[in-house]
Structure 1
Amino acid sequence: MQKRNTLFSSYPRDPGLFDELFDQEGKVTKVYSKLFNLYGKNSISDYLELNNKAKASFFNQGITFQVYNEATTREKIFPFDLFPRIIGAEEWAHIEKGVVQRCRALNLFLHDLYHEKEILKAGVVPLELINSSENYLEQMVGLDPPGGIYNHISGTDIIRHKDGEFYVLEDNIRCPSGVSYVLSNRAALKRAFFGVFNHYDVHTVTNYAENLLDQLERVKPGGVDVPTCVVLTPGMYNSAFYEHSYLAKTMGVELVEGRDLYVENDFVYMKTIMGPRRVDILYRRIDDHFIDPLEFRQDSALGVPGLFAAYKKGNITIVNAPGTGVADDKAVYTYVPDIIRFYLGEEPILKNVQTYHCSRKEDLEYVLDNIRELVVKPVDEAGGYGISIGNCLTDTEVEEVRQSIRNAPRKYVAQPILSLSVHPTFIEESQSFEQRHIDLRTFTVLGPDSSYVLKGGLTRVALRKGNLIVNSSQGGGSKDTWVLQK
């Protein structure tokens, strides 16, 4: 006897939100129809059992994260929802073309900032904006990274608004994280619901590590035939350590800490039981100011003394290049459409979200007067930290935000409170599917003559009802993201 479709029988749908599963008339969209019926064959108890198996699988694999601001240090399983997000081939082609365009333009922008500074001379981007950025490194001026690539790996955060259009929320080009969860989500879903993949022609995500390593080897230092690549991690207590170890393992390269490396005659070597081994490509997962205590923070025990000297001599490739953070700034984000036009002579394919930068007098006045309708963000924070959503603040909190902005206007941007699209997500407390807001982080690997975009990305979910912040550090989770081949 066939089971009733009870999983979605009590699904509360707000017609004012863009629901990825249902259209405006409340009908299941064509792309989800098969999946909706396949999942509906399971009872709530069946689904709970599968959900528990997925959680156990994540725990056994060590797929966890650490929230830094908690009073106690403890690892948490990365929350994973078994109902995947589907993106059609045509929509994905638009997204992929748009993120590659942004990455190419930002790479040219970085080269220009550290060389001729033509965009500053033209007044397209304010000089003061760059001079006041903590992430602009004077040490990078005049340096040419191997292959001419600065932002080898980029994580572009994209939302769909209630108008159905995709918008870029921010560009992450320092050390973007989350790709390991993309791969782990796919593996977990295949174990739980393997049969559903027989009904859809979905692009694979398991080739990411292979493509990443291939692109990294394309930017090897001159004179190197077979390069040695390593992943540099701050260590096992870092919140993204699982990802560091996962990527090293899947690429088939060594995972190292700073103490495993040393510099001699401006070359970098790895200590091994077989003796020293030269390192040619360093995929670093530590921030700029910690990579070399001789050049940056003297108290850093995470980096490698002399590393930057080896880099300046062209003897090692650092991925991503030092100094990329100046283009990662949320204030610089406001100028990305102009940056694309300046360097590529093209119109932006993906739209920016309307953004007010508080260092501009007219923007500052608007933000101070309209905080209730805005999301206020620090320009240099990550992980959702420091964000204030105006309509969720008390009167006292609004005044505190205003004062913070007045004290350091350069530090803040503000955006309208957007209505992120929602996706059915299983909520354990209610044991039912409910609408939850989502975004998408895409991963682009840029090489000197080609690029690769992971055909999937990380769909992040704000698990708390009505919450717009999807970061895991703020209580968010994730879904497997299916990109259809046709």
Structure 2
Amino acid sequence: MAMIRRSNNAPYPLETFYDEMFAQEASVRPHYQQVHNAFSRMKKEELEAKQKAMNRRMLEEGITFTLYHPEQSQPLERTIPFDMIPRIIPSEEWAMVERGLVQRVQALNRFLHDMYHEQRMVQDGLIPRKMIVGNRYFRPEMMHVDVPGGVYITTSGIDLIRNSDGRYFVLEDNLRSPSGFSYLFKSRAIMNQLFPELAFSCSIRDVEHSLNHFLSALRSLSPERKSEPVIALLTPGEFNSAYFEHAFLAQQMGIHLVEGRDLVAQDHKIYIRGMKGLIQVDVLYRRIDDDYLDPLAFQPDSMLGVAGIMNAYRAGNVAIANAPGTGIADDKAIYAYVPAMIRYYLEEEPILENVPTYLLSRKEEREYVLERLGEMVVKETSLSGGYGMLIGPSATAEEIAAFAEQIRLDPGRYIAQPTIQLSRAPVLLGGQLAPRHIDLRAFVLMGQGGTHVIPGGLTRVALKEGSLVVNSSQGGGCKDTWVLA
């Protein structure tokens, strides 16, 4: 078939990577057969027309992401590169992933409660105390604070990858203010518009209902469990890279979109300044970091937060999602201890495995990694978005030497992992298929009523040939993710 050709007329190369669509050369996996057949029947002109229609819709609706680059004087706002070939996950495969995600987030939530209360895991010698209290995201202000419903992690984005055998691994936990929700929902809306018959015939699980779960999770945190609590999304403003998402979520869930200047603290309560007076806020879904949340408690020069919000929070008059201080649990060094958390708090074996991880604060592991730096991926523990990374196999000798020096100067700032051969999926380039590496950001929503995993999540694509970096902030794109019903 013409579709199993690359744009340079070479065969679609499978190599040693796990390919989501193809089991072997010209052999399509059964759950992809309908999609493969549908795209194979389309002429190049039809595909190009659909691509133009999709790009036009994304531009009209402002589905954008702002890129910041040190060499550019002005940030670059652009539409998210979106590939029309969906990633498809069979129902039984997703069921295992879903169980693993729920298990992981529940253990992480228990861990956060423990670290801000008894610290039993520290006392039992399972995690060093200095990794907690020395963590840049540890907030002493949260010690012995009982968060609404015991829910620290209302929203989480868990990054999953597949190795060359097709096994799922957790690459990263994003628990502070994970992004990507809007691209997931918009991807589905665009695919339903462009390929309505295909989406219907494949019988895929709906994602729109997850917005109701999102809203229910936020409502459940209301301190007085009001039937109609006032909920607001706190954004840094229109110049934030994810502002489109903030506006989209607020509109879709029917909640207030506010900036810090729209809010005021009075009598240990938080109010929105409205046209008709003050409106008390019951739940604040914040999309700003702890540092900027309250200038009286954290960074004193912050103009983004609300002076006095932490006093209102500790008084039990407002819920904040995610809870302040959750960042200690998505630190990349703490990640290495999540399997131990699952065993300790839940008394279960992890369903989803971690990628093998070396803590460079440990001398033996550090020396092992330094001898093999060209084979490793090294990450700065407190950074995200693809920043502060060394990908050994694609790095120059100078870059490797510079990173080795940084590691020796401050080894506790870094972890290392072997380079995983991320699975690949086909993308459309010039009407032909080309393989690109992918991961999956799965979204988990937790409220007092339970835990919900959005079916499928957001498949992120490294658009540069051979690249393993899928982050939007580094130029990556996305696909719609279909979980078969």
Q: TM-score range with shorter-chain normalisation?
A: over 0.9
Residues 332-385 of structure 1, C-alpha deviations (whole Å, 9 max, x = no match): 000100010000000000010000111111111111111011001111111111
Query: Structure 1 counterpart of 2:213, which letter?
Result: N
Query: Structure 1 counterpart of 2:109, which letter?
Result: N
Query: SS of 2:2's equivalent?
Result: coil
The CA distance in 2 between the partners of 1:169 and 1:223, in whole Å, is: 36
Residues 76-104 of structure 1, C-alpha deviations (whole Å, 9 max, x = no match): 11010000000000010000000100100
The answer as to whether partners of 1:7 and 1:43 remain within 8 angstroms in 2 is no
Counterpart in the other structure of 1:358: 360
Q: How do 1:321-332 and structure 2 match up within 5 A?
A: 321-332=323-334
Query: SS of 1:75's equivalent?
Result: strand
Q: Post-superposition shift, 1:298?
A: 0.6
Residues 269-304 of structure 1, C-alpha deviations (whole Å, 9 max, x = no match): 001112110000000000001000011111000000
The answer as to whether partners of 1:461 and 1:478 remain within 8 angstroms in 2 is yes
Counterpart in the other structure of 1:471: 471
Q: Post-superposition shift, 1:223?
A: 6.2
Q: CA RMSD in A?
A: 1.1
Residue number among 96, 107, 110 corresponding to 1:108 in the alignment:
110
The CA distance in 1 between the partners of 2:91 and 2:408, in whole Å, is: 46
Which runs of structure 1 show a deviation greater than 6 angstroms over 4 or more consecutive aligned residues? none
Counterpart in the other structure of 1:19: 19
Query: SS of 2:478's equivalent?
Result: strand
Q: Post-superposition shift, 1:131?
A: 2.1
Q: Post-superposition shift, 1:222?
A: 2.5
Q: Post-superposition shift, 1:439?
A: 0.4
The answer as to whether partners of 2:68 and 2:76 remain within 8 angstroms in 1 is no
Query: SS of 1:276's equivalent?
Result: strand
Counterpart in the other structure of 1:435: 435
Residues 157-193 of structure 1, C-alpha deviations (whole Å, 9 max, x = no match): 0001111110000111100000100000011111211
The answer as to whether partners of 2:377 and 2:419 remain within 8 angstroms in 1 is yes
Residue number among 329, 342, 345 corresponding to 1:343 in the alignment:
345
Residue number among 199, 202, 212 corresponding to 2:214 in the alignment:
212
Counterpart in the other structure of 1:450: 450
The CA distance in 2 between the partners of 1:288 and 1:9, in whole Å, is: 49
The CA distance in 2 between the partners of 1:209 and 1:223, in whole Å, is: 20
The CA distance in 2 between the partners of 1:347 and 1:231, in whole Å, is: 36
The CA distance in 2 between the partners of 1:363 and 1:18, in whole Å, is: 29
Query: Structure 1 counterpart of 2:358, which letter?
Result: Y
Query: Structure 1 counterpart of 2:447, which letter?
Result: G
Once the two structures are overlaid, the 10-residue window that deviates more, 386-395 or 166-175, is 386-395
Counterpart in the other structure of 1:44: 44
Residue number among 105, 129, 132 corresponding to 2:131 in the alignment:
129
The CA distance in 2 between the partners of 1:34 and 1:225, in whole Å, is: 45
The CA distance in 2 between the partners of 1:396 and 1:166, in whole Å, is: 33
Query: Structure 2 counterpart of 1:54, which letter?
Result: M
Q: Post-superposition shift, 1:139?
A: 0.2
Once the two structures are overlaid, the 10-residue window that deviates more, 6-15 or 400-409, is 6-15
Query: SS of 1:362's equivalent?
Result: helix
The answer as to whether partners of 1:32 and 1:86 remain within 8 angstroms in 2 is yes
The answer as to whether partners of 1:6 and 1:43 remain within 8 angstroms in 2 is no
Counterpart in the other structure of 1:7: 3
Q: Post-superposition shift, 1:456?
A: 1.9
Aligned residues: percent identity? 44
The CA distance in 1 between the partners of 2:187 and 2:282, in whole Å, is: 32
What's the TM-score once normalised by structure 2's chain length? Answer: 0.97
Counterpart in the other structure of 1:390: 392
The CA distance in 1 between the partners of 2:319 and 2:382, in whole Å, is: 25
The CA distance in 2 between the partners of 1:165 and 1:14, in whole Å, is: 17
The answer as to whether partners of 2:332 and 2:381 remain within 8 angstroms in 1 is yes
Query: Structure 1 counterpart of 2:477, which letter?
Result: G
The CA distance in 2 between the partners of 1:207 and 1:332, in whole Å, is: 33
Query: SS of 1:304's equivalent?
Result: coil
Counterpart in the other structure of 1:199: 201
Residue number among 138, 149, 157 corresponding to 1:147 in the alignment:
149
Query: Structure 1 counterpart of 2:436, which letter?
Result: R
Counterpart in the other structure of 1:69: 69
Query: SS of 1:226's equivalent?
Result: coil
What's the TM-score once normalised by structure 1's chain length? Answer: 0.97
The CA distance in 1 between the partners of 2:429 and 2:409, in whole Å, is: 41
Q: Post-superposition shift, 1:24?
A: 3.1
The CA distance in 2 between the partners of 1:223 and 1:263, in whole Å, is: 21
The CA distance in 2 between the partners of 1:222 and 1:366, in whole Å, is: 53
Query: Structure 2 counterpart of 1:407, which letter?
Result: L
The CA distance in 2 between the partners of 1:432 and 1:41, in whole Å, is: 12
Which ranges of structure 1 fall in alignment gaps of 5 or more residues? none
Query: SS of 2:13's equivalent?
Result: coil
Query: SS of 1:115's equivalent?
Result: coil
Q: Post-superposition shift, 1:386?
A: 1.5
